[in-house]
Amino acid sequence: MIGRLNHVAIAVSDLEAATRTYRDTLGARVSAPLSLPDHGVVTVFVELPNTKIELLAPLGEESPIAKFLARNPDGGIHHLCYEVDDILAARDRLAGEGARVLGNGEPKIGAHGKPVLFLHPKDFCGTLVELEEA
């Protein structure tokens, strides 16, 4: 059901510093910051030959990233994103197998302009999983 790994998301407290590290120290191509108010984040994508790294910073006090950083002040891996061909079919199949979809269960539009859903980390080996329709 899952396709390729779309990105690994890393929560950061200082998006500018993290961007400089990937761009200047590691020599990666880095996107401009993008605010996603529906998700409560500002995101930057680091382009790699085989996938992407998403740097996530909180957009406001109620951001899920602010809560993550409160528990993990140094930041860290926040989630893995896998591509699926049909997000609604994937959601229904996973829910039928007992997986918990976060939020109201309806996809939101993500940073790539495509529908996304998040799955509870307790159902996936302690890892928050994002599904993105390919």
Task: Give the integer Cα–Cα distance in Å for 109 and 126.
Answer: 24
Closest-CA residue to 14 (of 90, 83, 69): 69
Q: Would you state the torsion angle of the CA atoms of residues 111, 13, 72, 119, taken in this order, to the nearest 10 degrees?
A: -10
For residues 95 and 101, give the distance between their C-alpha atoms in angstroms, rounded to a whole number. 7
> Hey, CA dihedral for 16, 22, 27, 28, is it positive or negative?
negative
Query: With 0-12 CB in 10 A as exposed, 13-18 as middle and 19+ as buried, what is 55?
Result: buried
Looking at residue 26, the DSSP 8-state letter turns out to be: S
16 is catalytic: no
Active-site residue, selected from the candidate residues 54, 83, 130, 133: 130
Residues with catalytic function: 130
